A and B are shown apart, each in its own frame.
Chain A
Amino acid sequence: MNLPTTQELVEQELLSNYASMYRLAYTYVKNESDAMDIVQESAYLAIKHAATVKHVDYIRTWIFRIVINTALSALRRNSFEVAAEKIAEQGQNDQYTDFDMMEALNVLNDKERTVIILRYFEDCRLQDIADAMKENLNTVKSILYRSLKKLRIELTEGEICHET
């Protein structure tokens, strides 16, 4: 009885959060088709492993964690290195994205980026982020602090460049 219920909850969360999942994936792979693949892959894995969810409250952060892991393993695969060509092949137009944000995030390592996105863009609680990342709360806090510091430098440099 417990298992199908969790699976249903996961499905609900997937359907209400697919846009967030996509944006999260996008910040990693930086193109539409790969990001969609990652969302699909993550949705598949989430349903498949729904039974392993221990606390239903964490489903949303748990799903984000799957997205991140999927995106990272996708990036490790060679095929994603030619992502830019793929877009051209499929004849899709580049959609406008503000690359300040993307470039800024690039200075962060994977963990730092995850913390920033989940905390500030997806409004997750620090404790939830810690659970999702299997880190303790203090570690997450220090990653966050470090990331903000890094970002400030990057953003400031960017602004200087634009202004001069």
Chain B
Amino acid sequence: MKHNLTEMKHDYQNIPIPPELKTRVKQSVAQAKKDSACAADAFPQNRHKATHISKIRRFAFCGIGSAAAAVLTIAVLANSSANIAHAMEEIPVLGTIARVVTFREYQHKENQMQADIKIPEVQVENKEGKVLADATEDMNDAIQKYTKQIIAAYEADVKAAGGEGMQDLTLDYDIVTDNDKLFSLCFQQNIVMASSSLSQKIYHIDKTSGKMITLQDLFLDKTDYQTAISENIKTQMKQQMAEDETKVYWLDSDVPEWDFQHISEDVNFYINESGRLTIVFDECQVAPGYMGIVTFEIPTDVVQDIVKDGYLK
């Protein structure tokens, strides 16, 4: 008997261990830590029902069912005259003040479907405290359009599910930048179904000029900012993957069509506290879903020659 058990133990211990197992365990650990950290904004009962096995297996294939939400960056510029704008660049005093004055909330709960959407209202004022109606309206229209779209999609899901569905949608916002030059409002959308899908959308108010802009407005005309930034991101991806084996980006991967090539014109961005351009990618855009929302801080010297004055440090 003892002999047989020893043999069995020997056989047992000879079960070969796949070489990639360790990396995959590390990935799970990283994912679990991330999920625990943001558990407060999620609904645990839904998450626990999620079949992590299939979720984990599909990391590499990135959420077949998860909606890759559209990403758009709209910048609202609060001042109207180019002359004034130019003059202000030299004066380190706030020309306009943009702030969130109030917000409305869309809440819905029916069986296992629930949504909680916060819709902020922004007010843009000049330094005398007068409300700049156009700028305020532009910004709020953009926010309305974006949130309406999300609510419509959610309501369509509720209807389609006919009371059977499980979904938890939250949309919250955060002011990510508020410096002399820019006021940026970041929306974070989280859809939890079987797995969760996180996406962000950032609106900017330029405090020293007066039109809606995208990332390219930070740069001088006809300069190839996209390539400069994209190449830097690729370098950062490679470096991070070399340093930490749990990090994975789609770059030189087995499936070339998923590989990160180029940032789009409407890529999400913000200016971080150090005054550096930070590019934001939604879940699954450039990396497997477990990496979450990924951001890359672009060293200013990479775009030094092509960036307009005053935005970056």
Contacts and interface: CB of A to CB of B under 8 A. Distances in A.
Contacts of B4: 151-152, 155
Interface in B17-44: 17-18, 20-22, 24-29, 31-33, 35-36
A98 B14 contact: yes
Contact of B33 (A7, A22, A74): A7
A140 interface: no
Contact of A39 (B15, B25, B31, B36): B25
B29 A47 contact: yes
B9 A19 contact: no
B16 interface: yes
B52 A44 contact: yes
Contacts of A155: 4
Contacts of A77: 51
B1 interface: yes
Interface residues of A, number: 42
Interface string A27-55: 10000100011111101111110000000
B27 A100 contact: no
Contact of B53 (A7, A15, A74): A74
Interface string B44-68: 0000000111101100000000000
A120 B1 CA distance: 12
Given A36-B21, A44-B52, A152-B1, A121 B29 contact: no
Given A11-B29, A41-B28, A44-B56, A27 B12 contact: yes
Interface in A49-103: 70, 74, 77, 79, 95, 97-98, 100-102
A58 B22 CA distance: 22
Can you list the 9 inter-chain pairs with the closest CB atoms, starting with the nearest? A47-B32, A101-B11, A43-B28, A98-B11, A44-B28, A40-B28, A44-B32, A121-B12, A23-B15
Interface string A8-23: 0001001100110011
A103 to B, nearest CB: 11
Interface string A93-133: 00101101110110000000000010011000000000000
Given A27-B15, A32-B18, A47-B33, 7 more contacts: A37-B53, A39-B25, A47-B28, A77-B51, A105-B8, A120-B9, A148-B1
B25 A14 contact: yes
A11 B31 CA distance: 12
A22 B32 contact: no
B53 A38 contact: yes
Contacts, number: 105
5 contacts: A37-B56, A39-B25, A47-B28, A47-B32, A77-B51
Contacts of B24: 36, 39-40
B111 interface: no
A155 B6 CA distance: 12
Contacts of B11: 97-98, 100-102
Contacts of B29: 11, 14-15, 43-44, 47
A19 B167 CA distance: 36
A118 to B, nearest CB: 11
